[in-house]
């Protein structure tokens, strides 16, 4: 269980960094384990720093930035562990045209296994 979780976390964290950087050009996002020494009890924290901002806590982001960060996490999970289909409802509701365009480009990419991933 620990090995499966660790591998899924590593793949998702790597994808989140890539996806976040594409949805927020010039920004940085990453996933952190709250207790990396205890993989059965650890939590996952999301750090997000849109371009031009120093904040990392999600509660300090605007509503649109929080929504786009949540979408980045979902897409990262989808890319880390591909499925034959996904069902999402109104995922674009809080996105402006620019961010919607970026999301569409990412969602249209075929699923592919990155080197070094499971």
Tens-digit pLDDT profile for residues 7-53: 999 999 999 999 999 999 999 999 999 999 998 899 999 999 999 88
> Model-level pTM?
0.83
CATH of the domain at 57: 3.40.50.300
pLDDT of residue 69: 92
Task: Give the whole-angstrom CA distance, residue 109 versus residue 112.
Answer: 9
The number of domains in the chain is 1
User: Cα separation of 80 and 8, whole Å?
Assistant: 7
SS3 92: coil
113 belongs to a structural domain: no
- Which residues constitute the domain of residue 71? 2-108
pLDDT at 114: 52
Q: What pLDDT, in 10s, does the model give residues 48-94?
A: 999 988 877 788 888 888 888 999 999 999 999 988 888 888 887 77
- Give the DSSP letter string of 32-74: EES-TT-TTT--EEEEEE-TT-----GGGS-HHHHHHHHHHHH
């Amino acid at each position: 269980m620990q090995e499966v979780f660790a591998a899924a976390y590593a793949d998702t964290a790597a994808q989140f960094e890539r996806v976040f950087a594409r949805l927020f050009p010039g920004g940085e996002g990453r996933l952190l384990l709250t207790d990396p020494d205890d993989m059965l009890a650890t939590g996952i924290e999301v750090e997000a720093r849109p371009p031009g901002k120093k904040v990392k806590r999600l509660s300090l982001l605007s509503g649109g930035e929080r929504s786009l960060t949540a979408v980045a996490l979902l897409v990262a999970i989808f890319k880390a562990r591909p499925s034959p289909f996904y069902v999402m409802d109104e995922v674009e509701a809080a996105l402006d045209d620019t961010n919607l365009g970026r999301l569409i480009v990412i969602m249209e990419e075929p699923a592919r296994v990155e080197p070094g991933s499971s």
